[in-house]
Structure 1
Amino acid sequence: MQSASITFPHIDQTTPLKTVGDWIRFCASQMELQGCFYGHGFANPWDEARFLVLRSLKLDWDIPDSVLPSHLLGSEIDSLYQAIQSRCIEKIPTAYLLEEAWFMGEPYKVTPNVLIPRSPIAELIGAGFEPWITEEPGRALDLCTGSGCIGIAMARVFPNTPIDISDLSYEALSIATENIADKELGMQIQVYQGDLFSGIEPTNQYDLIVSNPPYVDQEDIDDMPEEFHHEPRLGLAAGFDGLDLVHKMMLQAPSYLSENGWLVCEVGNSAAAMAEAYPQVELIWPEFEQGGHGVFIVSARELSKLQN
């Protein structure tokens, strides 16, 4: 991959890039030339370029290819050029440029105040958390919610379950609240603010707690591609081993879980450190058909061992 020091080409309305397809090709080529990293929902430059261009033009990202020969207006060319330049030179993720990301087939508003949705927990939600959950939970919690996407997705799968979401960041909760209102789920989802469980009603008991907390260790923070530095550090960094918050969660969760409840938590590359830290607790590590790793599932009964 070539260096990001390559000069970004000057483009104006006299340049022979006229069609939607021209601009997708230009965007994909420049992302490769400028050394972009694809880790926010896209595996390759073509898919990301297609999404960036089509959604910038307010078109569905899955429109047929017959639209690609369509010509752009001058104002559309100017706007696209600026967006592509920001993606390639400043390494701003496409989701932040558009303020839109997709999770489990739904769009979500995202800004640099929240992480861009991409958790493999989506696959577990889609399966209704079977075989661990065999009926709709009486109550469920999305802890460290960010954009609210996990809590909203759970509300879709469990329409009769009251869902609580919580986050430390007021800015993140503002975005989550917008997403909840946009999807008309305000009657089902309750929003709390606080550090882990500190803002939750102490009497709340959950059959299911799901969390995608900060879990990036110091080594991975230092090595992250530039794109990830546009995300809120509060949502990523979690100490030397990446488990600062998870250690607290493991001790506090039993007080909020029902007798037969489950905690589902993503720790990513900190999985080895997690397994080493809790040899006395049976942690289940599901495999994902759609990709991803580093999610553990643990029962309330297993967690109670930590309080003995």
Structure 2
Amino acid sequence: MKGNSPSDPFARTDALATLGDWLRFAEKLYTRENVALGQVATNAHDEALYLLLRTLKLSLESDASVLTRKLTPVERADVRDVLRRRVVDRVPAAYLTREAWLGEHRFYVDERVIIPRSYFLELIPGALRDWLPDHGRRLKRAVDVCTGSGCLAILLAHEFPRAVVDAIDVSTPALDVAVINVREHRLGQRVHLFQSDVFDEVPAARYDIILSNPPYEPSRHVDRQAPEFAAEPRLAHDGGPDGLMIIRKLLHQAKGRLAPHGIVVIEVGGLRKVIDREFKALEPHWLPTQDGSDCVCLFEAERLRG
């Protein structure tokens, strides 16, 4: 732990009295230290505010008046410590708070899992339903491949209350975290966890939806990640030399796992051109997202079976 030396970014923080003072300081600090964002929020204001509110055990729904709140000496020490861990040590905010949010749903997270963030948050209740018979109202079975914390399997179970949802991951530590989240969401009767490399160790089943946010970053990109992203399990990022290692296996195995009307939906990051080229014969469909990234592709069962 650094002391208050002249080079210490926290050397002159004793004068910061209110939460608003600390928030303004944190925003400038994030910018000056080139902190990587995107795991909890996409801008310094939102992430710093979240981290400060959580550290002070204040509601995330607090209105602007909370910024005038004066901090006690103990609170200032707590805030200084958590910002030091975030900005100097580059620990992701979600690992500091031990939680991540997808919409209204909270998930426990720690260093055993990638921090939940996915376009499926908007697509599961939106565009995805348009590809399902009866808009998914009679959907019976779904699976989340590379489930990590279990978050997407849980979102599927909440969205389709009659469905059984399998959740697969090769990582034992990740599945230990998924157990916590399935229990906290009280979905143990409908969300079933499997340790497996894609479908290798999963009992035979036919799925209406096979969904996945797999490792898709090319290895060379993973080698150059910012410290915050490097703090996450490499297994959750590294998709092999071209990013397609898991995706190829998933699409190959999906042929025998889909119901006749079933779909495979995969989040692929920046691989759209590569996917369109390699899997052109499968006619991938690209689902529109609010920010225009459109990085989630969908394959229909009849195309996969050729």
- Tell me, yes or no, whether TM beats 0.5: yes
What does residue 279 of structure 2 align with?
A: 278
Aligned mates of 2:42, 2:193 — CA distance in 1: 33
What does residue 182 of structure 2 align with?
A: 180
Aligned positions of 1:142-221 closer than 5 A: 142-202=144-204, 204-221=205-222
1:53-88 CA distance string (max 9 Å, x none): 001112222310111111223222222211101111
Equivalent pair of 1:95/1:101 in contact (CA under 8 Å): yes
Amino acid across the alignment from 2:65: S
Equivalent pair of 2:18/2:68 in contact (CA under 8 Å): yes
Mapped pair 1:101 → 2:100: yes
Which SS does the other structure have where 2:281 is aligned? Answer: coil
Which SS does the other structure have where 2:71 is aligned? Answer: coil
Aligned mates of 1:8, 1:205 — CA distance in 2: 58
Q: How does the TM-score come out when normalised to structure 1? A: 0.92
What does residue 3 of structure 2 align with?
A: none
What does residue 290 of structure 2 align with?
A: 289
1:132-162 CA distance string (max 9 Å, x none): 0122311010110011111111111111111
TM-superposed deviation, 1:218: 2.7
What does residue 141 of structure 1 align with?
A: 143
Equivalent pair of 2:10/2:80 in contact (CA under 8 Å): no
- Identify the range of structure 1 (127-136 vs 277-286) with the bigger mean alpha-carbon deviation: 127-136
Which SS does the other structure have where 1:198 is aligned? Answer: coil
Amino acid across the alignment from 1:129: L
Aligned mates of 1:199, 1:11 — CA distance in 2: 55
1:267-302 CA distance string (max 9 Å, x none): 111222122111211100111014543211001111
Aligned mates of 1:277, 1:185 — CA distance in 2: 37
Mapped pair 1:132 → 2:137: no
Amino acid across the alignment from 1:261: G
Amino acid across the alignment from 1:193: Q
TM-superposed deviation, 1:220: 2.2
TM-superposed deviation, 1:216: 0.3
Amino acid across the alignment from 2:29: Q
Greater than 6 Å deviation, 4+ residue runs = none
Equivalent pair of 1:11/1:81 in contact (CA under 8 Å): no
Alpha-carbon RMSD:
1.7
- Identify the range of structure 1 (138-147 vs 213-222) with the bigger mean alpha-carbon deviation: 213-222
Equivalent pair of 2:286/2:298 in contact (CA under 8 Å): yes
Q: How does the TM-score come out when normalised to structure 2? A: 0.92
Aligned mates of 1:292, 1:54 — CA distance in 2: 31
What does residue 121 of structure 1 align with?
A: 120
Percent pairwise identity: 34
TM-superposed deviation, 1:233: 0.2
TM-superposed deviation, 1:264: 0.5
